[in-house]
Amino acid sequence: MSMQQVGLKKLITLVGPPNSGKTTLFNFLSGKNCKTVNYPGSTVEYSSCKIQAKFNLNAELLDSPGIISLIPNSPDEKVAIDSIYDHPEFGHPDLVIVTVDSSQLSRHLLLVKQLIDSNFRVILALTMNDILIKKGMKISVSKLKEELNCEVISIDGRLGSGVDSLIQKTDEILNDDSYDSSQIKVPQFDNDYLLSSFKEIERIEDLVIEDIEDEDTEPSAVTGSIGKVVPPKIKTFKPDLNTLLIDRYLLHRVWGLLFFFLIMGLTFTSIFWAAIPLMDLIDSAFGFLAGAAKDSLGSNWFSDLISDGIISGAGSVLVFVPQIIILFLILGVLEDTGYLARGAMLIDKPLSKIGLNGRSFVPMLSGFACAIPAIMAARTIPNKRERLLTIFIIPLMSCSARLPVYALLIAYLTPRDSIWAGGIALAAIYIFSIVSSLVVAGIINKFSKGILKEEDDSSFILELPAYRIPKLKVVLNNTYYSSKMYLKKAGPIILFFSIILWMLTYFPNTNPQINTQGLTEPEIEAAVNAERLADSYAADIGKIIEPIMTPIGMDWRVGVSLIAAFTAREVFVSALALIFKVTDSDEDAIQSSILKAMRDAKIESTGEKLFTPATIVGLIVFFMFALQCLSTVAVSKKETGGWRIPILQIIVFTSTAYLLAFITVNGLRFLGVS
């Protein structure tokens, strides 16, 4: 039942092509912080909410996935288009606001015309007017309104200019009760319709786009005029010389790739360099809390639960949140400038060699944040084989959940004062994850008969946005939203499994008997922890899998941590902290305590050091390939329509991770790196 049927607020649906400013307008109207980027595939699900109270408009706002026309080219677009006509939850829209990039009028007007011909009530919101002005052109809004027979308003969704006029006109239209939504229909968009539509759009474009011959180029949101009206001269489009000059280098087949790797290298070096002060602060805070809890609660199971199970377990992962925030912040700046759309173009040719194209770059890039939205973003790939192949390799992208693990392991290998070494190591890991995913995709593409259905490779066409100066507020909002989503997703899981792991390591031997004669208090505590751990449930589980861990130079303690990491990779760090019974005081921080415990740890059966450069690199390799995220498996099953692909992912990636870790550890040992 639709909202209209139950007498609730009116429904406004936002529609628009990718990179037309649709989601930016949604965020401005709703006050939300939904992800908005300037390449296709960023919005793959509907977002709905109330319009902010300050606009005094009682309506539900629905942000739909980006589409270029009402003719679907992929399963994702078909669902999006069907939902525009009659959403399964909200029903028919009372009004459709369609965003159109002023500088891409010829491409974007087809969607507007199709919506009007479907009998929707339409308001056309003209965006990117500043880009058109830079080209020496302007749009006569009054002429465009007359030609389309719908309301046309110039806006800036990022700064808010023109939005008041949009709200005023929206309110007027929604208060017109003469509209009957049952008139909405699905026209026949056949070849004749498309041919006549493009001819009409060409005529409209020639009529409404005009040269600027006056210095007064400030747009008026009320009248819609921009500058002085002059006779139309659409044939004299002026290119954006700055964009062309920059693209000569950033899209160069050689220099472009060099700049790409340089930018990525600086990005990951900055993650280490800029995050250290905040990490130290958080580290010390959690260390102080753990020590204070133990001092105030005394020596008992409850004290141990609070200090070691909850505070130290959570703090060992949350200490890496500054690095995750900086990663989202830098990627947000690159997105807002328009550079990442160029990245899709750069990588299109290499991807074409392995059966993919530039459309796969969007989901692969999203995989650096989280595999779940990345797999969902693959819905925008129309070719089924390419879509399934992209979904298959996405878990190989180094998501933000791996960052705490990498940061800890790299910190073990590199000196603390060598920021560049850590940054270069992290950049190498991310680059290697991309390369390895491409190799896997190439192998599967070659031997995909019986696994992925054969289809012809599709083409890749992308509208490159003009370079723009990032809006700090937009970037910070998106960074805040992404970081908050990460904490909401990871936080409860980390807390839950920290408590479970604490129970496994604490029980059943709660009061171990040891000889304390001649031992200091810290030595007594360490001996008690060691004795309790040796007879714990975790030890029983770990010793079952120890034969699997021995060939890669590790013992049952690392095995238990790896098992815990299958629920969420971040848990690996807190698992190490719990298993090695890391206890902190005011002067000792959690991360440094974990590193000290790792450096002191020895294999019980041989007395050899457990963690060496060889085993640490082996762990890094293992985490680069292993599919240790049950949520990713569930989403993969949903998006591929069965268990075949997820099961293959688990088997292929986990076995590959173990095999490569075995080769890495033993190969480095053979070379004398121990």
Q: What is the mean pLDDT of residues 356-375?
A: 73
CA 359 to mean position of chain CA atoms: 15
pLDDT of residue 524: 65
Report the DSSP beta bridge partners of residue 211.
137
Q: What is the mean pLDDT of residues 382-408?
A: 83
User: Does 37 or 27 have the greater pLDDT score?
Assistant: 27
CA 557 to mean position of chain CA atoms: 32
One domain for residues 506 and 458: no
Spatial distance between the Cα atoms of 187 and 514, rounded to a whole number of angstroms: 83
Q: Is the pLDDT of residue 182 over 80?
A: no
Helix 571-579, helix 472-506: angle, nearest 10: 30
Is the overall model pTM greater than 0.75, yes or no?
A: no
CA 311 to mean position of chain CA atoms: 28
244 domain-assigned: no
| Nearest residue to 157 via CA among 134, 125, 131 | 125
Total structural domains within the chain? 3
Q: Is the pLDDT of residue 265 over 90?
A: no
One domain for residues 259 and 232: no
Whether the Cβ atoms of residue 356 and residue 441 lie closer than 8 Å to each other: yes
| Nearest residue to 362 via CA among 651, 35, 5, 29 | 35
Boundary residue ending a domain (472, 502, 534): 472
**Token pair listed for 183:** 């008139």
One domain for residues 438 and 289: yes
| pLDDT tens-digit readout, 50-102 | 777 778 888 888 887 778 888 887 666 777 787 788 777 777 888 999 999 88
Report the DSSP beta bridge partners of residue 484.
none
Q: What is the largest CA-CA distance in the chain?
A: 99
Spatial distance between the Cα atoms of 636 and 646, rounded to a whole number of angstroms: 6
pLDDT of residue 130: 77
Spatial distance between the Cα atoms of 81 and 576, rounded to a whole number of angstroms: 49
Report which residue type is found at 341: A
The torsion angle over the Cα atoms of residues 190, 88, 9 and 42, rounded to 10 degrees, is: -70
479 domain-assigned: no
One domain for residues 212 and 260: no
4 domain-assigned: no
Q: What is the mean pLDDT of residues 576-596?
A: 67
Q: Is the pLDDT of residue 309 over 50?
A: yes
Beta carbons within 10 angstroms of residue 13's beta carbon: 24
User: Does 639 or 269 have the greater pLDDT score?
Assistant: 639
pLDDT of residue 228: 37
Tokens 């505590």 found at: 525
pLDDT of residue 622: 93
Q: What percent of the chain has pLDDT over 70?
A: 78
Boundary residue ending a domain (472, 504, 538): 472
Q: Is the pLDDT of residue 356 over 70?
A: yes
Report which residue type is found at 488: K
DSSP-H helix ranges across 569-671 = 571-579, 590-600, 613-625, 630-640, 644-670
Task: Evaluate the omega torsion of the peptide bond into residue 508 and state whether it is cis, within 30 degrees of 0.
Answer: yes
Q: What is the mean pLDDT of residues 493-515?
A: 73
pLDDT of residue 105: 85
What are the residues whose beta carbons fall under 8 Å from the beta carbon of 600, sequence distance 6 or more? none
485 domain-assigned: no
Q: What is the mean pLDDT of residues 19-27?
A: 80
Q: 562: helix, coil or strand?
A: helix
One domain for residues 385 and 439: yes
pLDDT of residue 42: 43
Distances in whole angstroms, Cα of residue 398 to Cα of each of 317, 332, 431, 500, 570 = 17, 17, 9, 26, 12
Residue ranges making up the domain that contains 209: 10-238
Q: What is the mean pLDDT of residues 191-213?
A: 85
Tokens 């905040």 found at: 278
Beta carbons within 10 angstroms of residue 353's beta carbon: 11
Whether the Cβ atoms of residue 632 and residue 395 lie closer than 8 Å to each other: yes
Q: What is the mean pLDDT of residues 290-316?
A: 80
User: Does 50 or 204 have the greater pLDDT score?
Assistant: 204
One domain for residues 598 and 462: no
| pLDDT tens-digit readout, 100-118 | 988 888 888 999 999 999 9
- Rounded to the nearest integer, the mean pLDDT of the chain is 76
Spatial distance between the Cα atoms of 209 and 579, rounded to a whole number of angstroms: 68
481 domain-assigned: no
What confidence category does residue 6 fall into, taking pLDDT thresholds of 50, 70 and 90?
very low
One domain for residues 48 and 96: yes
Whether the Cβ atoms of residue 431 and residue 264 lie closer than 8 Å to each other: yes
Whether the Cβ atoms of residue 115 and residue 98 lie closer than 8 Å to each other: yes
One domain for residues 168 and 222: yes
Residue 464 per-residue DSSP state: P
pLDDT of residue 45: 54
User: Does 409 or 135 have the greater pLDDT score?
Assistant: 409
Q: Is the pLDDT of residue 614 over 90?
A: yes
Whether the Cβ atoms of residue 410 and residue 573 lie closer than 8 Å to each other: no
Lowest mean pLDDT among 260-269, 496-505, 608-617: 260-269
250 domain-assigned: no
H or E, element range at 98: strand 95-101
Q: Is the pLDDT of residue 626 over 80?
A: yes
Tokens 């120890």 found at: 546
Q: Is the pLDDT of residue 461 over 70?
A: no
User: Does 297 or 379 have the greater pLDDT score?
Assistant: 297
pLDDT of residue 46: 59
One domain for residues 298 and 380: yes
Report the DSSP beta bridge partners of residue 295.
none
| pLDDT tens-digit readout, 412-453 | 888 766 667 777 888 888 888 888 888 888 887 777 654 454
| Nearest residue to 499 via CA among 338, 304, 671 | 304
pLDDT of residue 617: 93
341 domain-assigned: yes
249 domain-assigned: no
One domain for residues 191 and 73: yes
H or E, element range at 435: helix 419-446
Report which residue type is found at 256: G
**Token pair listed for 615:** 């085993």
| Nearest residue to 338 via CA among 110, 103, 109 | 103
One domain for residues 220 and 287: no
One domain for residues 138 and 181: yes
Boundary residue ending a domain (423, 442, 472): 472
Spatial distance between the Cα atoms of 318 and 314, rounded to a whole number of angstroms: 6
Backbone angles phi, psi at 36, to 5 degrees: -135, 120
Lowest mean pLDDT among 166-175, 435-444, 456-465: 456-465
Whether the Cβ atoms of residue 373 and residue 401 lie closer than 8 Å to each other: no
Q: What is the mean pLDDT of residues 35-63?
A: 64
42-56, 319-333, 541-555: which is most confident: 541-555
The torsion angle over the Cα atoms of residues 367, 371, 375 and 381, rounded to 10 degrees, is: 0
**CATH number for position 110:** 3.40.50.300
Spatial distance between the Cα atoms of 275 and 269, rounded to a whole number of angstroms: 10
Tokens 């800890």 found at: 408
Lowest mean pLDDT among 36-50, 205-219, 410-424, 540-554: 36-50
User: Does 43 or 199 have the greater pLDDT score?
Assistant: 199
Whether the Cβ atoms of residue 103 and residue 128 lie closer than 8 Å to each other: yes
